[in-house]
């Protein structure tokens, strides 16, 4: 399957994942501006590993559409926002079971990201560093002079 839309503007982490999980990234949006912190590579790799068998099953049950040659999911964007992983995708299938299972997996890993340091991949907690909210392990929090969200009220 030809890989579409993995541009030079995307982070090296996204490119590595796209090479390892071609079914998941097969229809990555041309306009995607994705970036993935180093510490979450393992987390997103696991997420993609869980999505792959669902896509294989979906391809078997719902053959490719001759008109647009697409089925499965399109990744619209992968990023960090307010210290958590965001894995935005569109479903290109009539397979409601795939949609439900994939959504559950994505939600699980987005929730897990709030306890994984974005820098190291070690256990972490949400911290405020300047005006940013990011998830850091204790060593990175100290290095970046961050304060845990429990220590300071969060305001928009």
Helix 41-61 × helix 12-20 angle, to 10°: 40
Q: For residues 40, 42, 44 and 50, what is the CA-based torsion angle, rounded to 10 degrees?
A: -160
The pLDDT score that the predictor gives to residue 34 is 79
Tokens of 104: 């559950």
pLDDT tens digits, residue range 91-101? 777 778 888 99
pTM for the structure as a whole? 0.82
Q: How far apart are CA 64 and CA 56, in angstroms?
A: 12
pLDDT tens digits, residue range 22-48? 888 887 765 666 789 999 999 999 999
Collapse the DSSP code of 105 into the 3-class scheme (helix H, G, I; strand E, B; otherwise coil) and give the result.
helix
Q: Find tokens 């229809």 and name the residue.
A: 27
Q: How far apart are CA 62 and CA 68, in angstroms?
A: 13
Q: At residue 141, does pLDDT exceed 90?
A: yes
Of 1-5, 38-42, 102-106, 121-125, the one with minimum mean pLDDT is: 1-5
Q: Looking at residues 119-141, what average pLDDT do you find?
A: 95
What is the domain partition of the chain in residue ranges?
A: 12-115, 117-156
Tokens of 13: 């982490």
Which one has a higher pLDDT value, 11 or 4?
A: 11
Q: Looking at residues 99-128, what average pLDDT do you find?
A: 95
Instruction: Please name the residues in contact with 131: beta carbons below 8 A apart, sequence gap of 6 or more.
Output: none
Q: How far apart are CA 156 and CA 114, in angstroms?
A: 19
């Amino acid at each position: 399957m030809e890989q579409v839309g993995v541009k030079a503007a995307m982070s090296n982490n996204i490119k590595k994942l796209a090479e390892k999980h071609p079914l998941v990234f097969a229809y990555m949006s041309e306009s995607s501006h994705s970036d993935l912190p180093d510490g979450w590579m393992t987390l997103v790799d696991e997420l993609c590993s869980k999505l792959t068998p669902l896509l294989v099953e979906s391809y078997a049950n719902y053959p490719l559409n001759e008109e647009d040659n697409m089925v499965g999911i399109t990744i619209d964007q992968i990023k960090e926002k307010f210290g958590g992983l965001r894995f935005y995708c569109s479903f290109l299938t009539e397979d409601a079971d795939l949609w439900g299972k994939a959504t559950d997996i994505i939600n699980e890993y987005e929730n897990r990201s709030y306890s994984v340091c974005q820098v190291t991949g070690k256990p972490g907690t949400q911290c405020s560093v300047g005006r940013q909210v990011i998830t850091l392990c204790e060593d990175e929090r100290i290095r970046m002079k961050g304060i845990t969200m429990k220590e300071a009220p969060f305001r928009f």
